[in-house]
Each structure stands twice: as C-alpha cells, then as structure tokens.
A and B are shown apart, each in its own frame.
Chain A
C-alpha cells in the first residue's frame, strides 16, 4: 500500500454571534436606547441592593469560620504541641503578651491577640500596621503608609510617588511607558501586546499569530485581517500520523506507513520504520479491548469481551459488572447503580487516607469511622 496524501481537515468555524439587525438610523438608535435604559435600570437595582449590605469584613469572618470545619485530606499534619507549653499557653493567652524568647523556645504557635513584630519566627505580622520600615520579622515586603519602596500590587496606588514607572500597579489607564496587560485597554496606542489583541484588533496584531491559542489574538474566531488561523498543509504526513493539531506535524510521524497497523494516534512515534508500541500501551486492554499481535510486532486493540447476562452474578470476565454489581439483581440489568455489595474490610486508623499512596489500592471507599478515604481492598499503608 503506497503512501496516501494527507487529508487536511478544515476546522469548523463557529458562526459569530448574531448581529443586531442593520436597521438604518432611527430604528437602530431606538434599539440602542432601549438597551441603555435597561442597563440603567439594572445598575439602579444593583445600587439599591447595596444599601444595608454588610462590609467585606463580615464575609471574611464567614470564610474564616467555615475553613477548618471540614477535615481536609490534603492538608499537612497539625503541629505537635508539647505538654510543657500548655500552662505557658494559658498564661500567655490571659496576659496577651507576645514575648519572643518564650515563644520560640517552647516551639509553640502563639496566637498573639495584638500585632507582634518581634524577631521571632513563631510570630507573624498579622496586619499591615505591624509592618514598619524597620520590621525584620515580616516575611513580606513592608508597605507602610508612607513607604512605597517595595512595589507590589497592594502597595502602589495611583498617586504613589515613589513607585518606579515599571511598577505595574502604578500604571493606570493613562499609562504611557509602562506597558503591561493591566495597562493596555481596548484603545491602546503603542502598548501592543496580547491583551490589546481582542476580536476587533486593529493594528496590534501579531503577524504570525498561530492557531487555536486561547491566550493570543486568535480566539477561535479570528478575523482574516488579524492573523492567519489556517492549518498549514501537512502534505508530508499521512493519516497514520494523525496530523490534526495546529501546525504540528512531527516530521518523524510522516514516515509512518499506513500498513503499520498501529492504533492510529500512537503511530506518531515511528522512527525508521513503523514500530508500533508494545501491547502494554494499547488502550487498557481492560474491559473491552485486548491486545493482539499482528505481523511485525504491531498490535491493535480489538474488542474481545462481550458482557454476558451472567456478568451480574459475579463472573470475573465480564467487562461491565464487577464488584460494584448489585447482588441479586437480574442478569439483564445494567448494574448502573454503584453499590458496595462486597463487604468492606474495616478501616484501621492508619489505612485511612492512604488511598493514593498505596499502589495496591484499586477501589476507594469512605471509612465509616473516620470518614476518610480508604482502600476498599483493605490496603494497609
């Protein structure tokens, strides 16, 4: 079989959203006016709804109260608390004093009720008022009211005198020399970068935009004026090489012979001749597919299993119903309900939470005692 010419598939071009009917003059203005008046009503409603709305601090309180109410399997261990610190902790909490040397020697985690900026790793700078220019223990740059030398987003306000021009947060809509995504608005002049290039991009278009790059000018609806969003021809590649991507047709893929017999997408790893991956990398060969070796060592995955009605009676060869099959159900049922009919082993404390770190674990369940994820197959870690 000779090489076939690659068929270049045109990507579908979704239609643009419907435009307003191009009625001339009066009717178009009336429609736009209607839209604006509706927007005015929405904005008035929103302004009204803000009356009586509590400040942000209330929501922050709710967030703080919520976090910690649920056990989180991804959070690290609680720090150990030495018994000897217990009395000290109680005394401290009553005196509301953050004394650094006591704090650090007991390795406690003091909860200073007042801001504490001593040079102690246990204490943190709880709020901005703690961060004075000479504060050493704050891990973050100190942004006091009169010190904007450390320029970060929260520090630099529009009239911040000491922020350098390169400070991105200083540059508001009338920026000139500081050109970054936050600076450049739709009517950008000389700041030509990605954020300038919106669907109605004019002169801020990159010449070789590339295709299907979500962050670039071509947001799947690129206009012909803006950039070239067509797939270059993959004339050297044949279907075996699966040239579907945008402009990415690996050269070695083009050497694949159609007679390779490989599962098509995987043919792209061909070298001098078409060497198909070994059967172990064929799709799972688990439920519905099985590797079968063809000539030359190439494999293909063919469906070999066909679920029999007996699958619901626990026949292990069935591809659909496994341990999740509901006992007692008629064999013609599709066993779609997840059901743990297999008795679950008990979950000792140390096996809870080790679902992912245990390679032997093949099925997860929830431990009735600790409510942590557990291995249903009784994997102990």
Chain B
C-alpha cells in the first residue's frame, strides 16, 4: 500500500498535470480564435439593426403580485404566462387580455423558479424548500380556495434555482440546484431518472443557477453555475459533462440556447453576455457594456433571451436596464429600461413567446411587462 508521502507526491504531480493541461487547452483555443461574430459580420457588410424610439413598446403591464417577481415562463402554444413571486404565489396570466386565470398559493413562499408544461395544463415551481412542486391547472381547488399540489419532486440537497420541462414531453423535467447538480425527473412517478454532477468533479463545483434544453435536440441541455462555467450534458450520459465552457469571470446566472440549436448564450455576474458554440466549445462573442463613467460596479446580467431569428439578444440587468443587443454586430440597439412605462426595479427574468412576437420581462417592482413591435412593417 502506498505511503502517505508517496501519495502526496503523486497528488502534487497530478495537480501540476491538471494545471498544465488547462493551460495547453487555453492556448490551443486562443490559436483557434481568429475572429469573433462582430468582426466577421462587419467584414461581411452586415447592416445594423435600427430601432426608432417607438418601435418596441410596452403593450401590457401585468399587475397582481405583491412581491418581487423572480421567474416567468410562457406556454408553448397559447399566450399564457406563469410567474413566481416573493409573495409566495404563482399566477397564470392570459398575456393578451392581462387576465389572471389562476393564482396558486404555495406551501413554501420562497419560490425561485417556475415553468409551464408543454401542453399548458401543468406548472412546476421550486425554491428554497429544495423541492419542485407540480400543479395541474385543471384541479379543483379545496375549500380554502387553494390549488392542491399534484406531485412534489424531492431529492435535491439544495435550493432549486431553475426548472424546465423537456419540450414535447409532459412527463420529463430538468431542475438545477444549489447542491451543484442538475436532475432529470419523471413527473408521473416523482422519481429521479438521472443526476448530473454531484460528488465527483465531473460536474459543477458550485451552485447551479440555470438550465436550458436544446429544442432542436432535446437530449442535450446546458447548465450555468456560480463556478463561472457552463456545462453541456447529454441526458443519456449522466456520468460526466460532454463539455465545459470557460470564459466568464463570475457566476453564470442565465443560459439560453440560440435558435439554431448549435450555439447558446449566457449572462453573468461579470456583467457580460457571451455566445458559445456548443460543438466546438469556442467562445464566439462577448457582449459587454461600456464601463460606468462614475466607475460604479458593472450591473450584473440576471437573465437573457434570444429573438426567434437570433438577431436580437435581450439581457436584463440588476440596475433595471434591459439591453437589446444586435447579436451579429455586438451593439446595443435599444434599452427597454429607458423606454416609457419601463420597470422601476431590477429585471429578474425574461422570456420570449413561442411565436417570437412578444417579450415578457419580470421585475423586482412586482410587475411583468409585455414588449412587442408596434412600428410599421411593410416593405415598399
């Protein structure tokens, strides 16, 4: 049996090996970094996106929460939204009419995330109770007017930060957690199908904040973490991440797949958004704000969403800004935070409707707002 001294020697050698390999990887990637999306697009003569001040407007304000809004999700088909708030409720909205169709009082009020099932009949939520609760919207309420929980998914050892149903599968859900793992659940049985990450460092080494499932290939999803990395997972292979993406300098708060299914965007506490290539691991573009003239700390990115064509990247920030980035030219084309009827507080969540015609933002000012295009669209 090896002595402790021998093991220490091997430990030091292995550590040096890891550091050396990481440096080689970094150098190899730098050699392949011959351009970025913005430089390439400009060289191709891409015309910039130009918004008039009244092109994108706030056309609905959804009021009803009495606490900060933390999360929202659209239905895949109808224009319904579910939102989760610090007031301990989920509200389901008809976004077109601004009507509230359901108001669900939660057993644990510290909710952090919510999601709509693909058929629009169920919603899921999770938070500090370390569990994910499922509600069937067709359920009868009890005598107190409360909707019963259909299923509680327990097993995480930390808070549930994000959840998303697998597209077109009402029975499969993926959650991310403060216990550094992601889990794939069978909603009908309440069982964990797979755990991604965990005890061995093939997974994240800090709290996982966000997940995004690839709608073009639903076997793949990405997760963003406080360890400043994003990891790509294949739900059929839980033992290790397919790839790890480095670049951010602080917590990754939000990840979202690009509409083509081969790239994904990220938003981080370092104040930047980034675009990565899923297959090669390359960082394609950094979307970073100009530093504040007063040298204040950079606002952090809390949430992101892509428009349906991929040309626009919406990013919500901790200071209430909501930048609309031209994805190709890496320029800010609009700040929804400066428009009329904008939010009064931090943008905590964003979501694009399934048909790409509207963006919903949720804020710590307790409101949700719907933004849509109101300019003239005909081509002469």
Contacts and interface: CB of A to CB of B under 8 A. Distances in A.
A121 B88 CA distance: 52
Contacts of B68: 245
A12 B97 CA distance: 36
A155 B253 CA distance: 26
A195 B226 CA distance: 11
B95 to A, nearest CB: 9
A359 B281 CA distance: 45
Interface string B45-82: 11111111001110110011011100000000111000
- Residue in A70, A76, A281 whose Cβ sees the most chain B Cβ within 10 Å: A76
Contacts of A95: none
Interface string B84-116: 001111010010110111110000111000000
A58 to B, nearest CB: 8
A289 B141 CA distance: 11
A275 interface: no
Chain A interface mostly: loop
B373 A73 contact: yes
B367 interface: no
Nearest to A253: B66
A74 B348 CA distance: 21
A320 interface: yes
Contacts of A338: 77-78, 119-120
Given A14-B158, A72-B307, A355-B372, A182 B270 contact: yes
A356 B59 contact: yes
A220 B56 contact: no
Contacts of B35: 55-57, 60
B377 A77 contact: yes
Contacts of B237: none
Contact of B355 (A36, A194, A334, A364): A364
A74 B56 contact: yes
B372 A357 contact: yes
Interface string B301-326: 00000011111100000100000000
B14 A77 contact: no
A14 B179 contact: yes
Interface residues of A, number: 116
A33 B10 contact: yes
Contacts of A152: 290-291
Contacts of B128: 11-12, 14, 220
Given A38-B200, A42-B202, A336-B119, A265 B310 contact: no
Contacts of A101: none
- Residue in A244, A320, A324, A356 whose Cβ sees the most chain B Cβ within 10 Å: A356
Given A16-B158, A33-B11, A215-B269, A42 B372 contact: no
Contacts of A288: 102, 141
A152 B284 CA distance: 18
Nearest to B373: A74
B45 A356 contact: no
B308 to A, nearest CB: 6
Given A56-B35, A64-B46, A33 B14 contact: yes
A220 B40 CA distance: 42
Contacts of A182: 249-250, 270
A54 interface: yes
A354 to B, nearest CB: 8
B280 interface: yes
B49 A75 contact: yes
A7 interface: no
A266 interface: yes
- Residue in A68, A70, A73, A124 whose Cβ sees the most chain B Cβ within 10 Å: A73
A284 interface: yes
Contacts of A111: 45, 47
B109 A221 contact: no
Given A26-B7, A74-B307, A109 B34 contact: no
A52 to B, nearest CB: 10
Contact of A284 (B47, B99, B156, B280): B99
B199 A373 contact: no
Interface string A181-197: 11000000000011100
A50 B10 CA distance: 27
A178 to B, nearest CB: 10
B110 A11 contact: yes
Contacts of B372: 73-74, 355-357
A166 interface: yes
Given A53-B280, A153-B286, A244 B109 contact: yes
A193 B259 CA distance: 36
B328 A63 contact: yes
B96 A265 contact: no
Contacts of A283: 64, 91, 100, 103
The 7 nearest A-B residue pairs measured at CB: A356-B372, A72-B309, A284-B100, A36-B14, A60-B40, A265-B66, A43-B21
Given A36-B11, A43-B18, A59-B263, 8 more contacts: A40-B17, A63-B284, A64-B44, A74-B312, A284-B101, A356-B96, A361-B96, A372-B357
